[in-house]
Amino acid sequence: DIITNGYLLDKRCIERLLQIGKWEMIQITIDGRPIIHDNRRVLASGRGSWERIVTNAAYALDAGLPVIIRMNIDQNNATDFKSTISLLVEKNLLPRASLYLGSVVDSTNECTHMGKHKLTRKKFAEAQLSLQKELLSFGFSPGCKLPEPKCTLCTADSDNGYVISPKGRIFKCWNEIHLSDTAAVGHLLEKSAAHYDENLKRWQNYDPFRKSE
């Protein structure tokens, strides 16, 4: 599996992924219509990224990769699902890919400005139901499943789960992605360092039952 914003997932990258072996999921984030997505996911130049990401997602689907589209929502984009679905159909992403929602959260200090816009659990559940109804109206499967047990919660408690930062640093947890190299467990382009092994062992030895509550 891989989770990516899709911006670098061009044809050359897709060929490399196919050479690695079989993929079960390629998750790409598209946060709604271009005007909304490009306001959230802006390049350093100030330009938006919607068009390129959508094009790359289509390349991945054409190559037979199992693409899932995640749409992160808050109060600003939790209502207009119909136009988003229409655009994804127009771009030939749906129904070839599946679409589901994620909730915007303010997990770290860098994200505190998002706190005032995040949805309550109730509002998020209502948005999920709204999306499922819209998908059904287009004749698509809403992707509903019965509740099931989960063996792992995230990358942090999975032996083979890693998060790659833009600078090539390897972390175990999404919420550490902003930290310096001293918190990393490895690097894509540099030789191993002692603190990488120490940080990795800390995660491997993590035991939630040490916490009395």
Confidence of residue 119 (pLDDT cuts 50, 70, 90): very high
Whole-prediction pTM value?
0.81
Output the average pLDDT for the chain. 91
pLDDT value of residue 208: 80
Beta-bridge partner residues of 98 = 68
What gap in Å lies between CA 178 and CA 146, rounded to an integer? Answer: 35
For 70-111, the pLDDT digits (tens) are: 999 999 888 889 999 999 999 999 999 999 999 988 877 777
Select the highest-mean-pLDDT range: 64-73, 77-86, 159-168. Answer: 64-73
pLDDT value of residue 7: 95
pLDDT value of residue 76: 87
Q: In what order do the strands lie in the sheet with 2-4?
A: 2-4, 26-29, 67-73, 98-103
Confidence of residue 62 (pLDDT cuts 50, 70, 90): very high
What gap in Å lies between CA 204 and CA 48, rounded to an integer? Answer: 38
The answer to whether 41 and 90 are in contact (CB under 8 A) is no
pLDDT value of residue 72: 93
Mean pLDDT on 31-38: 93
pLDDT value of residue 9: 96
- In percent, how much of the chain has pLDDT > 70? 100
